[in-house]
């Protein structure tokens, strides 16, 4: 099977980290097709960045319409439901996948993310995904996303300290890493902390393999049916949904 793993920010080096994490867990028969968004912000750290990332995400899905599944490799899960509308195969966001994985492994987890503003966005996701009973706390480290990519930065040490506080103060039984740029840190952190540390890229790839393996696809009934055909104006004219038969359910 082929899983299209999309980095919705435009930083290629981050895609390399994401692709490595995806390939490290992929089953022998799984091809990981990693893509970097061709338009938008170099890092996604707020609602505006997220909104602006969705056209690039749609482009990356449309460039590979026959992939068996898609992974949105950004912890805000930007454009997740829009992506599910246009894709036939399953679409997984790394935040949703990581929270579900953590809930299977511990009765309570904490999320350790980047900036304070991102922490607030992650709290919204916890509520949207019905994870309030599982998530003990969302913690920020005040590390900008692109600093995770800098060789000499002290990001690793700061993240470890925050994870240690989560285990000690929140009594978190597992840690969810709150950024795709942390995808290479889970093994190191798990060794230091002694609790499961979940990288959402790996979790999403494995859930995608499971869903595809069960022959399951995105529901095309109701709100995840293909978008309704209508004209779009201005710079988004080319994104007008095409006409489809059967009320958008096939
Ligand atoms: C992210 C992420 O995963 N990629 C990105 O650009 N921003 N998320 C975050 N919480 O900072």
Q: What is the pLDDT of residues 1-52, one digit of tens each?
A: 999 999 999 999 999 999 999 999 999 999 999 999 999 999 999 999 999 9
Could you give the C-alpha distances from 202 to 42, 114, 132, in angstroms and in order? 22, 19, 23
Give residue-wise pLDDT tens across range 155-184: 999 999 999 999 999 999 999 999 999 999
Does the C-beta of 9 come closer than 6 Å to ligand 1? Answer: yes
For residue 186, pLDDT over 60 is answered with yes
Given a contact cutoff of 8 angstroms between Cβ atoms, the answer to whether 226 and 248 are in contact is yes
User: What is the pLDDT of the chain when averaged over all its residues?
Assistant: 97
Q: Are 16 and 45 within 8 A, CB to CB? A: no
**Which residues are paired to 35 by β-bridges?**
6
Q: Judge contact between 233 and 94, C-beta under 8 A.
A: no
**Mean pLDDT for the stretch of residues 108-127:** 98
Query: 């299977």: which residue's tokens?
Result: 104
Distance between Cα 45 and ligand 1 center (Å): 6
Best residue for ligand 1 mutational test, from 35, 44, 54 (most atoms within 8 Å of Cβ): 44
Q: Is 40 left (phi over 0), alpha (psi -120 to 50) or beta?
A: left
- CA-wise closest residue to 4 among 185, 169, 212: 212
Q: How many Cβ atoms are within 10 Å of 126's Cβ, its own excluded?
A: 19
Q: Rounded distance, CA 80 to CA 78, Å?
A: 6
Interatomic CA distance for residues 188 and 171, integer angstroms: 20
pTM of the model: 0.97
Distance (Å) of CA 32 to CA 5, 18, 111: 7, 10, 26
For 129-142, write each residue's pLDDT tens digit.
999 999 999 999 99
Calpha distance 58→4 (Å, rounded) = 12
What atom in ligand 1 is closest to the CA of residue 9? 6
222: left (phi over 0), alpha (psi -120 to 50) or beta: left
């Amino acid at each position: 099977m082929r899983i299209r793993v999309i980095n919705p920010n435009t930083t290629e080096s981050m895609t390399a980290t994401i692709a490595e994490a995806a390939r490290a867990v992929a089953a022998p028969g799984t091809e990981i097709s990693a893509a970097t968004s061709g338009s938008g912000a170099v890092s996604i750290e707020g609602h505006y960045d997220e909104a602006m990332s969705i056209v690039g995400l749609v482009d990356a899905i449309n460039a590979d319409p026959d992939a068996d599944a898609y992974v949105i490799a950004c912890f805000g899960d930007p454009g997740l439901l829009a992506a599910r509308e246009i894709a036939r195969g399953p679409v997984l966001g790394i935040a949703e996948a990581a929270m579900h994985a953590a809930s299977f492994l511990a009765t309570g987890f904490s999320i350790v993310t980047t900036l304070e503003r991102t922490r607030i966005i992650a709290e919204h996701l916890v509520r949207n995904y019905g994870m309030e009973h599982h998530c003990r706390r969302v913690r920020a480290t005040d590390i900008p996303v692109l600093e995770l990519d800098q060789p000499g930065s002290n990001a690793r040490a700061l993240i470890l300290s925050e994870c240690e506080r989560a285990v000690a103060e929140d009594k978190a039984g597992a840690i969810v890493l709150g950024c795709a740029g942390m995808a290479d840190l889970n093994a190191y952190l798990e060794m230091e902390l002694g609790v499961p540390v979940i990288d959402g890229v790996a979790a999403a790839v494995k859930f995608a393999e499971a869903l595809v393996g069960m022959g399951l696809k995105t529901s095309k009934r109701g709100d995840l049916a293909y978008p309704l055909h209508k004209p779009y104006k201005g710079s988004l004219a080319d994104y007008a949904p095409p006409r489809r038969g059967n009320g958008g359910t096939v």
